[in-house]
Chains A and B, each alone.
Chain A
Amino acid sequence: MIHSPDDPIAALATPLVSSALAVIRVSGKGSLQLLAPLVKGGAPAAGRRGNTINRCIIRDGDDDVDEVMLAVYRAPRSYTGEDSAEIISHGSIPVIQRLLSLLTRSGFRPAGPGEFTQRAFLNGRMDLTRAEAVNEIVRARTDRARALALQRLSGAIESRIKAARESLVELRAGLEVSIDYPDDERDGEVLDDGALDRTISLLQGLTRTYRQGRIYQEGVTAAIAGATNSGKSSLFNAMLRQERAIVSEVHGTTRDWLEGSVSLEGIPFRLFDTAGLRDTRDPLEVEGIRRTEQVLAGADLVIYLVDSTAGIRAADVSFMARWAGVPMIRVWNKVDLPGLPVPEGFVPLSATTGEGLGPLEEAAAGLALGGSPADTGEPLIDSVRQRDLISRALAALGRLRVARAGGVTADLLAVDLADALDALGEITGEVTTAEILERMFASFCVGK
């Protein structure tokens, strides 16, 4: 399906990682008008002159989303040659996600790979002699983006979407046959409701996995915590497979925190080794502990270590109570040494020998995903665009179901079905009329 070459699009211009700033670009005819109601104070965004930058607040209804710098460009003096804007926001992932979601809901279409550049090209903002190069880039980006998006899961997503599409093509063919051959005998209903319901479930399952899919891209932060000398730094080093932390017998060695990256079960982890928590008057230690608390507040999960030779102390109890809201793995460390038996709810570990390390890492990955999709074997989708397109398809199918229940006629049912097919078609490739016709004649014996 060819989109209008100047409809409003939006996309993140910077990589999707946590950082100081992020840049979201929008462009297209009417894009500034669409943006205006999202800016607190309203109209001025649309009315601003080109090449201006202003501080403003983006809001979603009554909620403030973020304080941003908004750069406005007016056609033709912009990168794309169209009216466009750049939203420079705080670079935290939740903020970025919220902004993108808000833009989509407000009428912006998530841009396809290379689309901004393509527009720059269409509007003569780029030299014609670079035509071939740009084309190659667009093609390559599209193919590579597709490949990247799909490769990690060895085609599982693609096959799910294809299955859904197949089912919809069959449904559409059946509907069209009943319209184009009203006199012919048909076995069964005009629309196979069972097949429709199954397809809807399949697509809903895919959208649910989006959240999980994100984790593979963005990763999680995990803090290793525990009383001093409970073995945090040893565990940190063990998980990182390297000697980064200084491990020493003296309590209070790690005064600060250390950070490292490791991939567990395909999920990027940012590990934080933290200062041991204890009452202390050492000012450096106090500072270290303060920073630890900061890390803990922002962590997605906590690996809490207890020294098996020392047992659970009051400090451990109060910590675990205090941070009960954060997903936590409780570790019974130093099992290589003679100590107390492993209590209920704890994972045995010896950070020095490596015993129990495997199961601990699995548990951490599982906890990060908030469930274990590995068990169910569900594939995941992990791109905003795929999710948006599947949502569009679901919206159309939802309308279809309502219309069908309401007794709407076949010619209108076909419109919603066509919308759903269009949306899925953008993920896997075009659906053409010829394909529907093929199916009509292959599957149904019709015609005089």
Chain B
Amino acid sequence: MGNRARADADFDAIVIGGGHAGIEASLAIARLGFSTILVTQSLDVIGRMSCNPAIGGIAKGNLVREVDALGGQMAKLIDATMIQFRMLNESHGPAVQAPRAQADKHAYAALAKLTLEQEKNLTLFQDTVVDFVLDSSGTSVRGVVTERGRKITAPVVVLTTGTFMEGRLFIGEWSAPGGRLGEPAAIGLGTSLRRLGFSVGRLKTGTPARALRGSLIPERMEVQQPDPEARAFSFETHRVERPSVPCFVTYTTGETHRIIRENIHRSPLYGGKIVGRGPRYCPSIEDKVMRFPTRERHQVFVEPEGLATEEVYLNGVSSSLPEDVQEQFLHSVPGLEKLVITRPGYAVEYDFLFPTQLFPSLMTKRIQGLFVAGQTNGTSGYEEAAAQGLVAGINAALHLQGREPLVLSRADAYIGVLVDDLVTLGTEEPYRLFTSRAEHRLSLMHDTADIRLLPKGHALGLQGDAALDRLTRKVRGIEETRELLRRRKVTAFDVARISILESHRGRSFEQALRDPLVSISRLASLDSLLASADGSWLALAEAGVKYEGYIARQEEQVGRFRRMEEKRIPGDFDWDGLTGVSAEAKEKLKMIRPISVGQASRISGVRPPDIAVLLVSLTRDGGQARR
């Protein structure tokens, strides 16, 4: 139940849309003490996973843990509802490892809804927002107007509508308005945004068919086993005790590709009906077949959607070809010959807001108090949405408190990389996070998310003292583990048990650990004290040792980077009056209005001489020119 705390407005904050971004935003604002209302088209689809029923993955798993460290919800939701866990990239090193879990998608959504319902300060309401209410000057938001004609007022609005704005679905020759199959589009908002002067573009995404598990032929497919032990996403969860189910892997055949090629003219994208750009990294099966014609086969992962459903998700064959073609080509895949399709794959085209129109706080530059987060900004992925939702929610609350917003830098968190990429570089296709986008990848390991961000969460009020105490114990534990590694020497007895330690005889465990072939888990088997240490202490101690040289180098780069980030540019900086920069740079600078010299340097078209001019201009304005 919510409270109505304001005299001059219905609520302190309105959140539009109950997807993954909306969930985080509304919880954050409510938890920070403000009366919040979440207005969403259907209360029954809160937290629904449109696509892959999984949370986490490369870089995304890091996001989930960072959201958790700051005080967000996603990690706890997945810990309670996962049905399979895998730690990815174990062989590629701790800097790029990431947790991933299949979710029971219905349980996940139900838990999300319940969590929202139980949050005090938060009200849920079913309606569709179609327009905004602004103040008399037209520069600040004052509320929203819904489809049923209601007007709800609040000084802060967070827009998290996902793929629903002017959404249109495509399956082959069929097309109709919609946000997801079976769910109506949000008509009106896209038009309203355009009317308010925002630049709005069009994107496309797609999803594969769902089928019945009973119609699979498992003997013809490979089994992908989960990790024997699940690990928690949340730093608060101690153990994860959840059922674990396997996935299947199969491959398309030449026949599959032939069917697709022969019917390609019936594809809405290749047939020219869809104008929105789709993601290169998540191509439909027809994209793959057309762009990589020499590949003999493409992987298909068959993933269960939940414990209480027979539906499975066909990962890797997203498609918007007509239903009969989908059925045909799916039946040509080993293991899927008798497949019964419950829902076809489809493409959805939707409006999105060019994110360069936002400040790093995710507030729009045009309209005070209006924040935008999630797929509406042109991202894809539940995790990217959640991260933005949390940032928008926190900053909406800070805005209400009249405080400076929280801006995480690229060296602090993947969240920082995500937001900076969006607001500084913009995006033309659905943006997805990769580790390669992070220059300081080595400093952003998932296991250090709490070290980096929990103190900030605590300072904001989203994390309690208990959490901070836990962190202190962890940091101490890691240091103690390092100390242990320094003191413990490799003995003949150790060598007898693990022969590769021969060349490290007499040296400390720490020195031995620098050898890429030596792992801390093996060393732990030699020493009971080491073995009793917490898993994450061992992992972080190991990373600290193995990465020492690289991290030292990266620290230098991070130091240089931070110095540029700290050179702030005042909000009222006169960009027009800046002489000596190139015309292209000036145009970009005026549009983006960077808040720091660091951000300015990342804008495409702005070159080092332009930065030099900017730096001098700032010094002059500060009146600190040296003589």
Chain A residues in the interface with B (C-beta under 8 A): 2-5, 76, 81, 118, 121-125, 128, 131-132, 134-135, 138-139, 176, 178-185, 406-412, 414-415, 432-434, 436-437, 440-441, 445-448
Q: Does B266 interact with chain A (Cβ within 8 Å)?
A: no
Q: Which residues of A contact B550 (CB under 8 A)?
A: 412, 415
B281 near A441 with CB under 8 A, answer yes
Indicate which residue in B93, B434, B437, B560 contacts A410 across the interface (CB closer than 8 Å): B93
Also in contact, A183 and B616, with CB within 8 A (given A445-B288, A445-B292): no
Q: Does B33 interact with chain A (Cβ within 8 Å)?
A: no
A178 near B615 with CB under 8 A, answer no
B282 near A447 with CB under 8 A, answer yes
Q: B47-74: contact bitstring with A at CB < 8 Å (1 yes, 0 no)?
A: 0000010000011000000000000000
A-binding segment of B293-301, B366-374, B479-487, B525-533: B293-301
Q: Which residues of A contact B563 (CB under 8 A)?
A: 4
Alpha-carbon gap, A2 to B607, bound state (A): 9
Q: Which residues of A contact B515 (CB under 8 A)?
A: 406
Q: Does B477 interact with chain A (Cβ within 8 Å)?
A: no
A5 near B436 with CB under 8 A, answer no
Alpha-carbon gap, A123 to B619, bound state (A): 8
Question: Nearest chain-B residue to A412 (Cβ)?
Answer: B550
Indicate which residue in A128, A185, A437, A448 contacts B434 across the interface (CB closer than 8 Å): A437
B615 near A5 with CB under 8 A, answer yes
B442 near A179 with CB under 8 A, answer no
Interface residues on B, range: 35 or more
Q: B73-106: contact bitstring with A at CB < 8 Å (1 yes, 0 no)?
A: 0000000000000001101111110000000000
A/B interface sample: 29 pairs, CB < 8 A? A4-B560, A4-B563, A76-B626, A81-B626, A118-B612, A122-B612, A122-B616, A124-B627, A131-B579, A134-B580, A135-B581, A138-B609, A176-B434, A179-B92, A180-B59, A182-B88, A184-B299, A406-B516, A408-B516, A410-B93, A412-B95, A414-B436, A414-B441, A440-B281, A445-B291, A445-B298, A447-B281, A448-B282, A448-B318
Q: Which residues of B contact A122 (CB under 8 A)?
A: 612, 615-616, 619
Question: Nearest chain-A residue to B553 (Cβ)?
Answer: A415
Also in contact, A124 and B554, with CB within 8 A (given A135-B613, A182-B58, A409-B93): no
Also in contact, A407 and B517, with CB within 8 A (given A76-B626, A118-B612, A122-B615): yes
B297: min CB distance to chain A, Å: 8
Question: Nearest chain-A residue to B58 (Cβ)?
Answer: A180
A131 near B92 with CB under 8 A, answer no
User: Which B435-454 residues have C-beta < 8 A from chain A?
Assistant: 435-437, 439, 441-442
User: Which B325-360 residues have C-beta < 8 A from chain A?
Assistant: none
A448 near B92 with CB under 8 A, answer no
Q: Does B316 interact with chain A (Cβ within 8 Å)?
A: yes
A192: min CB distance to chain B, Å: 17
Q: Which residues of B contact A414 (CB under 8 A)?
A: 436, 441
Alpha-carbon gap, A276 to B298, bound state (A): 83
Indicate which residue in A76, A121, A125, A176 contacts B612 across the interface (CB closer than 8 Å): A121
Interface-centre pick from B93, B94, B517 (highest chain A CB count, 10 A) = B93
Alpha-carbon gap, A118 to B604, bound state (A): 22
Alpha-carbon gap, A4 to B547, bound state (A): 24
Question: Nearest chain-B residue to A444 (Cβ)?
Answer: B292
A376: min CB distance to chain B, Å: 36
B615 near A409 with CB under 8 A, answer no
B281 near A176 with CB under 8 A, answer no
Q: Which residues of B contact A131 (CB under 8 A)?
A: 579-580, 613, 616
A185 near B299 with CB under 8 A, answer yes
Q: Does B620 interact with chain A (Cβ within 8 Å)?
A: yes
Q: Does B7 interact with chain A (Cβ within 8 Å)?
A: no
B435 near A180 with CB under 8 A, answer yes
A2 near B613 with CB under 8 A, answer no
Alpha-carbon gap, A241 to B122, bound state (A): 95
Q: Which residues of B contact A433 (CB under 8 A)?
A: 436-437, 439
Alpha-carbon gap, A224 to B89, bound state (A): 70
A75: min CB distance to chain B, Å: 8
A127: min CB distance to chain B, Å: 10
Q: Does B283 interact with chain A (Cβ within 8 Å)?
A: yes
Question: Nearest chain-A residue to B434 (Cβ)?
Answer: A180
A322: min CB distance to chain B, Å: 54
B612 near A436 with CB under 8 A, answer no
Question: Nearest chain-B residue to A129 (Cβ)?
Answer: B579
Alpha-carbon gap, A235 to B579, bound state (A): 60
Alpha-carbon gap, A436 to B441, bound state (A): 15
Q: Which residues of A contact B625 (CB under 8 A)?
A: 124
Also in contact, A182 and B89, with CB within 8 A (given A121-B616, A408-B516, A437-B434): yes
B430: min CB distance to chain A, Å: 12
Question: Nearest chain-A residue to B297 (Cβ)?
Answer: A185
B580 near A182 with CB under 8 A, answer no
B320: min CB distance to chain A, Å: 16
Q: Does B539 interact with chain A (Cβ within 8 Å)?
A: no
A105: min CB distance to chain B, Å: 18
Q: Which residues of A contact B92 (CB under 8 A)?
A: 178-179, 182, 409-411
Q: Does B475 interact with chain A (Cβ within 8 Å)?
A: no
With contacts A2-B560, A138-B609, A180-B434 known, what are 13 further pairs, Cβ within 8 A? A4-B563, A81-B626, A118-B609, A122-B616, A125-B626, A131-B580, A179-B96, A408-B516, A412-B95, A414-B441, A432-B604, A441-B281, A448-B282
B580 near A132 with CB under 8 A, answer yes
Alpha-carbon gap, A8 to B96, bound state (A): 34
B462: min CB distance to chain A, Å: 30
Which 3 pairs from chain A and chain B are nearest by CB? A409-B93, A124-B625, A131-B580
Q: Does B191 interact with chain A (Cβ within 8 Å)?
A: no
B526: min CB distance to chain A, Å: 21
Alpha-carbon gap, A83 to B611, bound state (A): 22
A411 near B96 with CB under 8 A, answer yes
A76: min CB distance to chain B, Å: 5
Q: Does B315 interact with chain A (Cβ within 8 Å)?
A: yes
A128 near B299 with CB under 8 A, answer no
A401: min CB distance to chain B, Å: 14
A448 near B301 with CB under 8 A, answer yes
